[in-house]
Structure 1
Amino acid sequence: MTGTRHLGRALLPLGLICLALGISTAVVLPFLSLFLSTAVDAGPVRVTVFMVVAPIAGIVAATLIGRLSDRRPIRRALLVGTSVAGMISMGLTTFVRDYWILLALAVIATAPAGALFPQTFAYARQVLARDASGRGAMGVSTLRTVYALAWAAGAPLAAIVLDAGGFTYVYGMSAAMYAVAALVAIFWLGGADAPSAPAASRDEPIAGVPASQEASRWTLLLTTAAFTFLQCPLTLGLQALPLFISTDLGGDAGDAGLILGLCAALEIPLMLGLGALTTRIRLRPLVLTGAGCGVAYYAYAAAASDVWTLAAGQIVNATFIAGVTSLGISYMQNLLPRQPGRATTLFTNSFTIGAILAGPLLGLAQHFGFRLAYGIGASLCAAGLLILLVVRPGIQPAGPPIRAARPPGGGLRPRTRRTSSRPRQPG
């Protein structure tokens, strides 16, 4: 009981950070292209450059921060720093309307702020591994649900704020949410600052986890590719949905909003439910089931004849989203139990890369018909599922000679850093 109370106290501030981060991004990202086009008066080329450069800078910054976080006991400081970076970036964007200054801000400040998401979940992984190893995936899934709830509330809230005070209010609200995250990290978070990977020796067991238990580089590369394939359809399908409904299904923008709202309402309890199932069922089958639902939904959507047919498939779509975007974080973290920062960053970067790839694929669908977008989505999900089936954790596929990896244990209970040369087996 004491451990449960301690775990609740540890996850509550992280839940507040997820809530603040979700609102801060939800009020900005859906209107970014509109902001650049209208408030900044940027043309199509400049908007495109911004939409490509900003996420690439975010990938680079998150990768560097993720590696640093696993080598030094500074994860709490990184949560503070990335929150402050977001506060500065959004705060300045409240007033700045010069395109090149905004682009510089996106690279210098907004990009590091993007590391707040993976670092929050990496911090959660350390807390859960220390205090409740058997409920790690459930805890991570719960935090992911909080983030999804924040997005569900933040998007309509942004429309209200935009109508009331324009982009000045929108970016001011985003800056305020980053400030809340920084204050929570400063005054509420504690512990779990021990580095998960050694700076000097990769063979030294950390938190009872030997280096041999981590997945090979080749396994990590292919698993990241699998999640990129699985998450690209999320952006592609979202961008194509209003156009698909209006041109192929005879609906309108209101129908698109109905579909999106229904899916969001379904995925929240499914995230919690699948998270709870991880205490009884191994994580891998649940992730594979989610990926299979992705194949089924996008194939079904490609053949849909009307709006209500598409609406009926949202339970499958929501299961796909919950299984991949929520449990996928823990799946990747299990491949690198000593390096939660790097593992979570790999997963979040796979979403960003998938979102970048969705742009040209949507252009292809605009040329050949929007049903193609969902056909492509089904194919990408099938490719991701196939890779996950072939690349089992701990089994190194054919490729460069990299040291073999063992499957991550289900119940890691690290307490202290061990310096003995003999690794203790995870319980």
Structure 2
Amino acid sequence: MKKLLYSLFPGNQPDQTSVSLLFTCFFVGIAGAFTMPTMSLFISEEVGARPYLIGVFFMVMTISGVIVSQIIGWWSDQGIDRKRLILICNMMGAIGFIIFAFNRNYWVLLVTSAVFISATSASIPQVFALAREILDRNTRPSETFSSLLRAQISLGWVIGPPIAFMIATGVGFTQLFLLAASMFIILCAVTYLTLPQMDPTPKHTHFDPSDSIWRDKNIILLALSFVFMYCSNNMYIISMPLYITHDMQLDSSVAGIMMGTAALIEIPIMLLSGRYALKFGKKKMITAAILAGSLFYVGVILNSSFVGFVLLQFLNGIFIGVTAALGISYFQDLKPKKMGQITTLYSNAIKTGGVLGGVLAGMIADIFSFEMVFWASLVLSLMSFLTILKVRDV
């Protein structure tokens, strides 16, 4: 077991840098898992905002996160030290959640989320970009360690939400947000003391239009594929609890069991993905995972039993585990000279898919039914499959 675990680390041996990167991913993941699932409850009950204002809040936070993280990604590719950018992002998170802990004015919180909380979304892409840069400079493969980093975020989301709801309902949101702020303060210390400062890579003296990520059709197609696949996934996540209780007449706890099962399955799938990617290639494995996701939606449409829904999570776990673990490396391989921007684009493609999924799920369920939402998820998953076939292999 020890040998297998060590094989996931660069050089088959944990070192200070790799452990620090893992710690950073886990703490950012668990800080997000503490706050995001409870945010709508906080805005509704503590702030007293109406439902449409809650929607506006999440839309502003997501869109600002996409814009801010893409700008920070561009800065990192211009030679600004990624360690410094990660440190700034963590400081912004600490400030933002301290404001959330003591303020209950909707508009102040909206501005805080757009300015401070949105910056935290840039931290993870920069951590992955830094890890890839370290591995590339030491001529070591990145697939297995990137998968291990991604698994830390999933682990945070397995542990975080139950604890968050316990704190929010049992103690209060002030304590919950102060705990999240303290995590970002700890991350600041870890980043400053342990992460390496990389010498900037030499920059070209003239601008080459072909270097732009926005002019590369393979990157655009890959980004579109990830938008489609995570749009379909978010539509499923939003609609499944209501489908289970209203249409299937099952207990609401079934949805929680399903999502918890999927999260547990994702972690070993992520860890294995990096190893098998070296043998089969990233594109083939991601393509196969998308097909597994398509079969999952077919199963959800056809199934009506509790056991069937739980067993289907193996397909869902393969879909999320493989695409989340290998997606970053696939994006990075297509444009290694733009590591900061391309890693951020991967993250933003997933966020964009999530926003679109939320809008489409509500519209389709309102006009048609929850079952029709899963048919739409199937169509989007197949669109993702067809799109990624046109992306070049690396």
| TM-score where L is the length of structure 2 | 0.93
- The answer to whether residue 138 in structure 2 is matched with residue 131 in structure 1 is yes
Shift of 1:226: 0.7
- Separation in 1 of the partners of 2:286 and 2:213? 19
Which amino acid is 1:91 matched to? I
Greater mean alpha carbon deviation, residues 30-39 or residues 157-166: 157-166
Which amino acid is 1:106 matched to? S
- Separation in 1 of the partners of 2:72 and 2:211? 24
- The answer to whether residue 199 in structure 2 is matched with residue 200 in structure 1 is no
Please tell me whether the aligned partners of residues 245 and 256 of structure 1 are also in contact (alpha carbons under 8 angstroms): yes
Q: Secondary structure at the match of 2:392?
A: coil
Q: Classify 1:112/1:200 alpha carbon distance in 2 versus 1 (closer, same or farther; 3 Å).
A: farther
- Separation in 1 of the partners of 2:135 and 2:225? 26
Which amino acid is 1:89 matched to? G
- Separation in 2 of the partners of 1:162 and 1:288? 40
- Give CA-to-partner distance per residue, 1:277-334, whole Å, 9 cap, x none: 1232211111111111111111221222222222121111100001112211111111
What is the aligned partner in structure 2 of residue 246 from structure 1?
A: 245
Please tell me whether the aligned partners of residues 128 and 139 of structure 1 are also in contact (alpha carbons under 8 angstroms): no
What is the aligned partner in structure 2 of residue 322 from structure 1?
A: 321
What is the aligned partner in structure 2 of residue 228 from structure 1?
A: 227
What is the aligned partner in structure 2 of residue 169 from structure 1?
A: 175
- Separation in 2 of the partners of 1:139 and 1:273? 11
Matches within 5 A, 1:256-405: 256-363=255-362, 364-393=364-393
What is the aligned partner in structure 2 of residue 401 from structure 1?
A: none
What is the aligned partner in structure 1 of residue 23 from structure 2?
A: 16
Q: Classify 1:33/1:202 alpha carbon distance in 2 versus 1 (closer, same or farther; 3 Å).
A: same
What is the aligned partner in structure 2 of residue 81 from structure 1?
A: 88
- Separation in 2 of the partners of 1:15 and 1:141? 11
Over aligned residue pairs, what C-alpha RMSD do you find?
A: 2.2
Please tell me whether the aligned partners of residues 230 and 324 of structure 1 are also in contact (alpha carbons under 8 angstroms): no
- Separation in 1 of the partners of 2:10 and 2:38? 43
Q: Secondary structure at the match of 1:177?
A: helix
Q: Secondary structure at the match of 1:133?
A: coil
Gaps of 5+ in 1: 204-210, 394-407, 409-427
What is the aligned partner in structure 2 of residue 58 from structure 1?
A: 65
Shift of 1:107: 1.4
Shift of 1:245: 0.8
- Give CA-to-partner distance per residue, 1:349-396, whole Å, 9 cap, x none: 011111111122221124311111211111111101100002324xxx
Gaps of 5+ in 2: 1-6
Shift of 1:258: 1.2
Q: Classify 1:213/1:113 alpha carbon distance in 2 versus 1 (closer, same or farther; 3 Å).
A: closer
Aligned residue pairs, count: 386
Q: Classify 1:290/1:227 alpha carbon distance in 2 versus 1 (closer, same or farther; 3 Å).
A: same
Shift of 1:158: 0.5
What is the aligned partner in structure 2 of residue 423 from structure 1?
A: none
Which amino acid is 1:269 matched to? P
Which amino acid is 2:59 matched to? V
What is the aligned partner in structure 1 of residue 3 from structure 2?
A: none
- Separation in 2 of the partners of 1:384 and 1:234? 12
- Separation in 1 of the partners of 2:367 and 2:306? 22
Shift of 1:132: 4.6
Q: Secondary structure at the match of 1:121?
A: helix
Shift of 1:193: 4.3
Shift of 1:3: 6.8
- Give CA-to-partner distance per residue, 1:166-224, whole Å, 9 cap, x none: 111111111111112111110001143424x7263356xxxxxxx77989522222211
Please tell me whether the aligned partners of residues 16 and 194 of structure 2 are also in contact (alpha carbons under 8 angstroms): no
Which of the numbers 148, 151, 159 marks the counterpart of 1:142?
148
| TM-score where L is the length of structure 1 | 0.86
Q: Secondary structure at the match of 1:278?
A: helix
Please tell me whether the aligned partners of residues 76 and 193 of structure 1 are also in contact (alpha carbons under 8 angstroms): no
- Separation in 1 of the partners of 2:199 and 2:261? 40
- Separation in 2 of the partners of 1:322 and 1:143? 12
- Separation in 1 of the partners of 2:284 and 2:193? 39
Greater mean alpha carbon deviation, residues 279-288 or residues 33-42: 279-288
- The answer to whether residue 36 in structure 2 is matched with residue 29 in structure 1 is yes
- Give CA-to-partner distance per residue, 1:139-161, whole Å, 9 cap, x none: 11110001100111011110121
Shift of 1:267: 1.0
Please tell me whether the aligned partners of residues 81 and 197 of structure 2 are also in contact (alpha carbons under 8 angstroms): no
Which amino acid is 2:73 matched to? G
Please tell me whether the aligned partners of residues 226 and 349 of structure 2 are also in contact (alpha carbons under 8 angstroms): yes
What is the aligned partner in structure 2 of residue 158 from structure 1?
A: 164
What is the aligned partner in structure 1 of residue 53 from structure 2?
A: 46
